[in-house]
Amino acid sequence: KTGNYPGRKVRMTEITAPKSPVTAEQFADEIREQLKYTQNVTPEQATAADVYVAASKAVRNHLADAWFKTQADTVNGDTKAVGYLSAEFLMGKQLENALLNAGLTEQFDAAVEALGFQPKDIVDAEYEPGLGNGGLGRLAACFIDSLASLGVPAFGYGIQYKYGIFKQTFDENGKQVETPDYWLTNEEPWGHIDYNRDQKVSFGGEVVEENGKKVWKPAWSVRAVPVDYLVPGYKSQRVNTLRLWTAKSYDEFDLLAFNKSEYLDAVKPQVKAENISKILYPEDSTKVGKELRLEQQYFFVSASLHDAIRVFYPGEAKPDLTTFPNKITFQLNDTHPVIGIPELMRILIDEYDYDWDTAWGITQKTFNYTCHTLLPEALEVWPASLIGELLPRHLEIIKKINEQFEDELKDKGVADETIERMRIYTGDAVRMAYLATYGGSHVNGVAELHSQLLKDVTLKDFSDAYPDKFTNVTNGVTPRRFIKLANPGLSDLITEGLGTDKWLSDLDLLQGLVPLAKDDEFVKKFAAVKQANKHSFVAFAKQHYGIDVDENTLFNTMVKRLHEYKRQSLKILLVISQYAALKKGEVSAEEILPRTVFFGAKAAPGYYLAKLTIELINNVSKVINNDPDVKGKLAVHMLPNYNIEMAQNLIPATELDEQISQAGKEASGTGNMKFALNGALTVGTLDGANVEIREKVGAENFFLFGMTVDEVEKLYADGYDPAKYYEADPRLKQAIELVANGTFSNGDRNAYAPLVADWLTKDWFMALADFSSYADIQAQIEKLYRDPLEWNRKALLNVANSGYFSSDRSMEDYLERIWHTGPLAD
């Protein structure tokens, strides 16, 4: 698998072996040492937060040698590295994961106990960094974990935002309130800021001709300083690097202005520069047309490309960059880093004097593009004027790329009107997805269905012209964090069932559990693990949200970003209809299946209908949870601030998972994989990776409902009238009427009028059309749940057959289909 190529010289001769693991006593001493010399507290003075920092630094020290060795092998060996360019990395808490991967969990537990602390309190003291919005950022984190675990040399490149995704709370009316998430308030022991390996990133100005050469004269520059995070592989002895850039000013302070008492003006340059890495855009699958966003994208991509040249050609003034694509292949995670294509062209032509064709050859070989969406509005399109203002040289290059592209299409015999549709540069806009598709070697979608729809619809013209570029890599999740750490009870049971823990690095081994689904005793043990997880979640919910949850109810969860296409409104309408049926006594005492419904979802701050949906869920929750008539039968909780920590606690406790997006809208989903791997059954549509999950776990172990992509398309074409569905199903009609008549707004009929109007007149994602089949399938769900042994057998089969959804497998697919590289030699 490794890509050998000529011209590699050994540059670093001394390679240090990784330190051998320590005893618990030694590890306790290391923590004491950190407390003393870096925290400057005695063990008696130390708080859990002190011990957390000290233990983190001690683990980091253990990883240092393997990190150096991995870097040396990466630069000196003959294995092409992977550069994963991503505006988001949603890492989750680091300590527990680092301990696991460094093989130090037991030593840590014993060591902190010896110091008089509970291991859980130390782990909990970590503040979760929220440097991503949702699935896309978490996927990036899973991927770099898997690459390190597979021993593949890789760099994650992104931005160290000062403020991550906002913290979500709800006000007394149930409305979402966003507060800034300043995650760096306390000492953060994982990132190492490396001022000596900074890069200059410039903006604005103009392009002039000097001696027949285009020369960019930028107007202003910022200093990109790397903050390095270690990415330890699980049992691989490899530690890769996540390099997140932070923006610093070159002009700290304008002394002249200060001396004139213009204090605010004095810090302006600093503020302007540092703004670039200040905040993560709280958007997920929606378009933002912000200048600052383009600055952020260019900032981290330019710094990363220069950094890769520094790393692979150290100290060379005139490196042979024709070998660059053999040293590193860059994956563009969505359209956010696509400005990297013209940037590499500019670097090669302007900074290293390559001619256009050579530069283009290198660039096209260097990049690949992953598309994560089917929503046209999520494919970024930048006004050409904005690019021209901020990056004038890049706009010139983009125009030239577009000319070359149009010529190439003409040569291929592509029709003029098709070329017109495909233009990268339209005269007033630049389409980043098109630039990425043309400018790289491969394009992939993130689930089979999604990749097919990219070829058939979203990027059809491109797939017709360049069929070989297109491929699929279905997403995956890391089993280390999302099974081993999140669900230790299930992990132990899997290990017991398989007689080995090798499944943690080869998740296909879960297949070995299939025969155990016939063993009632094993299924009962599996059920007991789920019950124990529910019990733990009850305590977690009490501690974190102050709510009382009845563990003897079906735990039914829908957690993901709030978006109309994901259809949280479909779920809440069903809950309301179930409530109405209970109130009217339509369900007999024997028929009642007690349920607790959990929602978790952040809405983009400017997304009105999404925020109104949150408010509705909160107020439905208030009414239902306070209604003595349904006590013990139905409860609804909208849990605030859905994040990785909540996922790690709630997913293992969930029995029924909701994946109910409109078919053809969710690119993949990764929550669906986490739930299946933790033994929840899914109720879902044929969308995204649900399709493959159902194939793998078996149609009989998945609750399918709703229209298919073709049926959705046909209904759009025929003219969709949601009111028809409202009239046709009394359950739906009743639910919507209850929302409209003020039942959940103290009689105020206006409170949800915009939502009701949207449902009845527009309902773009056809929640109403799918309502009846969704409501109908509940009877099947409830019937099965009444037979715990059968339910758990099916849940166990979900676990056993979901090994495919490991991000290790995703990485192997990328390596084979796209990157054409592999692990470092031992």
- Residues near ligand RUG, by CB under 6 A: 134-136, 139, 284-285, 334, 372-373, 378, 446, 475, 666-670, 688
Burial 485-520 (b: 16+ CB within 10 A, else e): bbbebbbebbeebbeeeebbbebebbebbeebbeee
The residue to which tokens 């870097």 are assigned? 71
Cβ proximity of 594 and 632 under 8 Å: yes
Cβ proximity of 553 and 594 under 8 Å: yes
Q: 9 an active-site residue?
A: no
Alpha carbons 778 and 794: distance in angstroms, whole number: 16
Q: How far is the CB of 671 from ligand RUG (least distance, A)?
A: 8
Q: 47 an active-site residue?
A: no
Cβ proximity of 689 and 814 under 8 Å: no
Residue with smaller CB distance to ligand RUG, 34 or 670:
670
- For Cα atoms 61, 231, 312, give the angle at the middle one, nearest 5 degrees: 100
Catalytic one among 246, 363, 474, 670?
670
Residue with smaller CB distance to ligand RUG, 107 or 670:
670
Encode 179-199 in three state secondary structure.
Answer: EEEECCCCCCCCCEECHHHCE
Q: How far is the CB of 471 from ligand RUG (least distance, A)?
A: 15
Could you give the C-alpha distances from 6 to 79, 321, 326, 689, in angstroms and in order? 11, 13, 9, 40
Alpha carbons 50 and 43: distance in angstroms, whole number: 9
Q: How far is the CB of 49 from ligand RUG (least distance, A)?
A: 33
- For Cα atoms 561, 567, 570, give the angle at the middle one, nearest 5 degrees: 135
Catalytic one among 372, 530, 696, 809?
372
Q: Which of 325, 334, 358, 343 is nearest to 443 (CA)?
A: 334
Encode 368-401 in three state secondary structure.
Answer: EEECCCCCHHHCCEEEHHHHHHHCHHHHHHHHHH
Q: 674 an active-site residue?
A: yes
Q: How far is the CB of 77 from ligand RUG (least distance, A)?
A: 30
Q: 162 an active-site residue?
A: no
Please state the φ and ψ torsions of residue 15, each to the nearest 5 degrees: -115, 120
Residue with smaller CB distance to ligand RUG, 70 or 672:
672
Say which residues have a Cβ less than 8 Å from residue 467's Cβ, sequence separation at least 6: none
Residue with smaller CB distance to ligand RUG, 59 or 139:
139
Cβ proximity of 706 and 685 under 8 Å: yes
Q: How far is the CB of 138 from ligand RUG (least distance, A)?
A: 8
Q: How far is the CB of 27 from ligand RUG (least distance, A)?
A: 37
Residue with smaller CB distance to ligand RUG, 70 or 285:
285
Catalytic one among 560, 694, 793, 794?
560
Residue with smaller CB distance to ligand RUG, 432 or 541:
432
Residue with smaller CB distance to ligand RUG, 281 or 324:
281
DSSP assignment letter at 477: B
Q: How far is the CB of 333 from ligand RUG (least distance, A)?
A: 9
Q: How far is the CB of 607 from ligand RUG (least distance, A)?
A: 14
Neighbouring C-beta atoms of residue 252, cutoff 10 Å: 12
Please state the φ and ψ torsions of residue 452, each to the nearest 5 degrees: -65, -45
Catalytic one among 394, 525, 637, 674?
674
Kind plus residue range of the DSSP H or E element containing 511 = none
Catalytic one among 80, 223, 566, 633?
566
Q: How far is the CB of 444 from ligand RUG (least distance, A)?
A: 10
Alpha carbons 655 and 675: distance in angstroms, whole number: 9
The residue to which tokens 């409202």 are assigned? 726
DSSP assignment letter at 14: -
Q: How far is the CB of 585 from ligand RUG (least distance, A)?
A: 41
Residue with smaller CB distance to ligand RUG, 379 or 735:
379
Say which residues have a Cβ less than 8 Å from residue 364's Cβ, sequence separation at least 6: 439, 440, 441
Residue 589 amino acid letter: A
Q: How far is the CB of 378 from ligand RUG (least distance, A)?
A: 4
Alpha carbons 56 and 630: distance in angstroms, whole number: 47
DSSP character string of 299-368 = HHHHHHHHHHHHHHSTT-SS--GGGHHHHEEEEEESSTTTTHHHHHHHIIIIIT---HHHHHHHHHHHEE
Residue with smaller CB distance to ligand RUG, 86 or 619:
86
Alpha carbons 769 and 716: distance in angstroms, whole number: 11
Q: 223 an active-site residue?
A: no
Q: 670 an active-site residue?
A: yes
Q: How far is the CB of 430 from ligand RUG (least distance, A)?
A: 17
Cβ proximity of 193 and 246 under 8 Å: yes
Alpha carbons 483 and 670: distance in angstroms, whole number: 14
Residue with smaller CB distance to ligand RUG, 657 or 666:
666
3-state helix, strand and coil shares in percent for the chain, rounded to the nearest 5: 55, 15, 35
- For Cα atoms 346, 349, 352, give the angle at the middle one, nearest 5 degrees: 110
Residue with smaller CB distance to ligand RUG, 134 or 325:
134
By beta carbon distance, the residue nearest ligand RUG is 135
Residue 495 amino acid letter: T
Alpha carbons 72 and 102: distance in angstroms, whole number: 19
Residue with smaller CB distance to ligand RUG, 570 or 736:
570
Residue with smaller CB distance to ligand RUG, 75 or 454:
454
Catalytic one among 243, 450, 561, 793?
561
Provide the annotated active-site residues: 372, 560-561, 566, 670, 674
